[in-house]
Structure 1
Amino acid sequence: MVKKLTLSAILLASSLFAASEVNVYSHRHYDSDKILFKKFEENTGIKVNVVTAKAEELVSKLAIEGENTPADILITADIGNLYEAKTRNLLQSIESKTLQENIPSHLRDDQNQWFALTKRARIFVYNPSKIDEKNLGDYFSITKPEFKGKIITRSSTNAYNKSLLASIIANHGEEKALEFTKGLVDNFAYNPKGGDRDQIRAVAAGDADLAIVNTYYLGVMLNGKDKKDLEIAKSVKIFFPAQETTGTHINISGAGVTNFAKNKENAVKLIEFLSSEEAQATFAEGNHEYPVNAKVKPSSTVSSWGTFKEDNISLNEIGKNTKKAVEIATEGNWK
């Protein structure tokens, strides 16, 4: 009898331990996420264990680990990597009324394998003393000859630019995407280098006149402790491309439950929490990303930029064209 009770106690303790945690593989590295994971732990008693690395590394790690993976959730900062995880059968479909209510359909997978948590708009940042806004329009507008030697952006291997080019393929076709790539490269002030904040700094310094960047980088610079970056961010202006056509390209951070999640119920609870008004407000205020939950407003800084037309194309369509985008970038000599 004693042995049976001891075994039962061990099994109960084991099940309680398993039920009290959730393991996250995340590409995100922001304070906002740490705050939210801690809040989730306080609210639920579920311990959040996080492994951070580049998205490509995490996807490969999941594939190698297979059914032995400890990961319950994959979080990436780009739709391309989420789509890659889905096509490699690393995610599973989940049912959640909460996620369907909190996240618009075009910002979640049609098979419920991934869900957007935040949005980033890919915009133009320009020097107002060098660029007349009247000459700006869609993404193709900066490929015109008058912009020769004035444009900069990150490498084509960067996830944000791969998704931007993939969206152009999805909206306009491969021929137009190659035309865009060649025109962009012809107008580079210099070969791509650095991150988005480096592009903004270069425009402010006069090394180039216009850069393609994500909105939240500018928001972070405008609200950071670095006074120099603050002045730099104040000196440039932003432009939302393609307002008369497809709308400005939107990329996301998103999450999915892994195919072999050991703590599936806890994983769903965490993703649901991250889509809640409370969590969305933390993302918005802490990192100046656009919330995906329509009930939540952007930060005051982001709101000051005004509203704009978003490209609402299915993000899966962008994911499908990511590999083709790499091929076209190579053909167009976008390094």
Structure 2
Amino acid sequence: MSLMTKSPYAYGKVAVLMGGDSAEREVSLASGGCVLKALVSAGVDAHPFDPSQRSIYELVSEGFDRAFIILHGRGGEDGVMQGALEQLKIPYTGTGVLGSALAMDKVLSKLVWSARDLPTADYRVLEKSTYNVSECSQILADLGGTVMVKPSHEGSSIGMARAQTEAELVKAVEQAFVYDDNVLVETYIDGPEYTVAILNGQALPSIRMTSPNVFYDYEAKYKTDTTEYFCPSGLPMAQEKQLARLALTAFESLSGKGWGRVDAMRDHDGTFYLLESNTVPGMTEKSLVPKAAKQAGMSFTDLVINILSETLDEHE
């Protein structure tokens, strides 16, 4: 994939929005630090900006020309920051207000994908205000006996758990309600997990992840060295293309733009099931999107510049 060739001066003064006050703050700071380092190394006038510690209006008063959003989770990945930047008329990287809000909400994502006849696991939605613990036994039976429990609006597998008994499901739901008023319970897909990075309308090579943990959880993503990543993923070419088409369609269905990542699982029959779409994925040099970009022949710095280049319109 060719790099968009622009002078580093074309971007003006760039704010790398990082940190924030979501449950994914630490991950965002790590991602933001890597993005900032890459931009500066490319000659871009880039500066860190933590909206949890500074007023968003300082972006205007300090003369920032555009923003690289690397805020994970609520307040940065859910359309809130995108809406604020729209009001301030500051160009920003990635997906817009609607697409960010849709992708951040796992329940709405599944509703959109179901309406498009895209494959996603069977599920139930539990609302904190109406939830009754007596529902758990029937939900477990309806969804095949093993389920995944997920807060609707969290990322990085925060608040997620697998449940195989009624007692485990009750505990998992209660824990998920700590993070969100809406909880998604879905049929557990027993098979390998894949992710497809998307950059400017193209799917990058897929990655397969394996972990000795119960599932690819927060610890497996950020805390241990036991997780293995395979890129290329080992899929036959026909299935690689199938997964790429599915990921692109899923991303575009949620109004995704610019760059992102779509996660999926494959059952023992070879069927792919969509898990979620990420509009601001992790961007440390060990994160999944940079791994896929490297496999496609792109350095981390080239990847970051490609993402930022989308903020330049034809008039600039």
- Shorter-chain TM-score tier: 0.3 to 0.5
- Normalised TM-score (structure 1): 0.33
- Normalised TM-score (structure 2): 0.35
Higher relative contact order (CA 8 A, sep 6+): 1
Higher helix share: 1
Highest CA radius of gyration, 1 or 2? Answer: 1
